[in-house]
Structure 1
Amino acid sequence: MTDFVALLGTKGGPAIRSGSPMPTSSLLSLGGQRIVVDAGLGVTRGLCDQGMALKDIRTVFITHLHSDHYLELGPLLHTAWTAGLKTPVRIWGPSGLAAYFEGFFLSMREDIDTRIEDEGRPDLRDLVSCHVIRDGEAIIEGGITAVAMPSIHPPLRESWSLSFRGAGRHVVFSGDTAHNPALADFARGADLLIHEAMLAEGLEALQRRIGNGDDRLMAHWLRAHTLAEDAARVAAEAGVGALALHHLIPSDDPDFGVTDWQCACAPHWQGPLHVGRDGLRIDLPLLG
């Protein structure tokens, strides 16, 4: 059985436009166990496109509460429920997720109650449980152990980088973060580092295209996200097996493509490089 990571949505930021990628979500598969990491808009279709039955969702990790990482979390689980979900789902993430689900279930109360009464389904509200991620605490889900480290993503206080180990594999997600040299130790020797990335030369055009943010938007990018070359430096320092660029900023500018990302990384990283695109499946090498 092949272990892999699928990048379901690779766009940094919540907006979508004609032809653009979808916001951030991923699927981790180790030893036959699957974990959803983030649930931006499009995650439900992305999982189906990877051949995953939605009723088989058991575990979801949310790195932080920006909408491009959890906007479709409630709809994902509701859709899974209508597709046959009847077993518990554990959601790991920031403390605010409990309030999110209170609001979501309230907004969908009429539909949920009707389907319970009219179709005999179990109560979705009883299947979903939220659990708070804590710095350095081991989280065991089946045969996979996850550990979190705070990322640098102001102004949010609960924002996480995640390390997953299972089936002899080690996969690390940077989450959204400013350049964080501590990630090198956190990801030391990982088979795959999945790191967010920006192209500096594309930021001004992106700000103009968005059109309704002022200089604070640019300031946020620069203080809360990582340039591609810095992601490459972290990968090299960590000695990882491969680097994948995720949560790309910009992601839908025709003036920038795969070659630009490769050129940004090349001075600092010469190992295998995967430039994120929606639906990209990265198979982990067979164990020797």
Structure 2
Amino acid sequence: MNKITLLGTGCPSPSHIRYGPSTLLEYDGLKFLFDLGSGVTQRLSQLDIKPSELDSVFITHIHSDHIVDLYQVYISGWHTGREEPFTIYGPKGISDHFETILKAYEKELLNRIKWEKRPNEKGLEYEVIEIEENLNVSKENISISSIDVDHYPVDPAYGYKITLNDSKTIVISGDTRYSDNLIHAAKGADILIHEVFIELAFNEKRMSEQTVKNIEDYHTSPEDVGKIAKEAEVKKLVLTHFVPPVFDEEDLRKRISEHFPGEIVIGSDLLSLEL
């Protein structure tokens, strides 16, 4: 079945209900992963998908909650039989980041290679493609392009536009404030998968008032998510990357529907949408 699945819909706050942000596209036998939040391989396992089956991974930005399981997906892909190089697309800096992770595991991995004698050493090879001005990737009936979004001071940060058979369109926002670029890219999209910042309760032991202000500032409020979806005239709005991971779903739906009259889906881990 052709589908897109929300593997993880959470945020940096640990949650057993909402794992770290990650979205899986399955189409015409290909599998593409967008972001690699905490627990992504466990969610893949729940779908009976091996990491070795992934064709490429796409990273929106270099923030820990979106890339913490990058090495886990890489190494477990080798463990489960990947026979082709691991391919990563992402922002400038992701190559250095991945090389640093590999360096940290170098002795452990060399020991494992020597002792386990697995036949698929090619599966340990990798290719990292950093986005320069923009990214356009086409594989069979799938086209994927990058969208510059605004998550400053995290820069660059990207969303992704996925076009299937030159017709159906899915847009993944990544982390962003209200973004005109995103609205333009998502114009008329069949599905817009968008992050949302609901609230952050102040706790003086782990944050300052500036913490709350700054975190809210570089995400998108429910009201702005609704405005984005309306301006882009998307057919379906799917919410993910909830801050916080536990919230009043009906209140969230109400806040968004005041601005967007279309279909609103409150995402959950392992929710699949047929394409």
Q: TM-score, normalised by structure 2?
A: 0.92
Rounded to whole Å, the distance in 1 between the matches of 2:164 and 2:133 is 19
Contact 2:77 2:123 in 1 (8 A): no
For 1:272, the equivalent position in structure 2 comes to: 263
For 2:222, the equivalent position in structure 1 comes to: 228
Deviation per CA, 1:265-287, whole angstroms, max 9, x where unpaired?
Answer: 11122222111211111223xxx
Alignment of 1:67-146 (within 5 A): 67-121=64-118, 122-123=120-121, 126-146=124-144
Which residue of 200, 203, 212 maps to 2:206? Answer: 212
1:176 aligns to what SS in structure 2? coil
Paired AA for residue 223 in structure 1: D
Structure 2 CA distance for partners of 1:185 and 1:229, relative to 1, 3 Å? same
Q: TM-score, normalised by structure 1?
A: 0.88
For 1:26, the equivalent position in structure 2 comes to: 23
Residue 115 of structure 1 and its aligned partner are, at CA, apart by 3.1
For 2:235, the equivalent position in structure 1 comes to: 241
Paired AA for residue 81 in structure 1: W
2:38 matches 1:41: yes
Structure 2 CA distance for partners of 1:142 and 1:59, relative to 1, 3 Å? farther
Structure 2 CA distance for partners of 1:47 and 1:186, relative to 1, 3 Å? same
Paired AA for residue 238 in structure 1: A
For 2:149, the equivalent position in structure 1 comes to: 151
RMSD of the TM alignment (CA)?
1.9
Aligned-residue identity in percent: 29
Contact 1:92 1:132 in 2 (8 A): yes
2:162 aligns to what SS in structure 1? strand
Rounded to whole Å, the distance in 1 between the matches of 2:137 and 2:106 is 31
Which residue of 241, 249, 252 maps to 1:261? Answer: 252
Q: How many residue pairs align between the two structures? A: 273
Rounded to whole Å, the distance in 2 between the matches of 1:51 and 1:236 is 36
Paired AA for residue 157 in structure 1: D
Paired AA for residue 80 in structure 1: G
2:10 matches 1:11: yes
Residue 124 of structure 1 and its aligned partner are, at CA, apart by 6.4
Residue 142 of structure 1 and its aligned partner are, at CA, apart by 4.2
Task: List runs of 5+ in structure 2 lacking aligned partners.
Answer: none
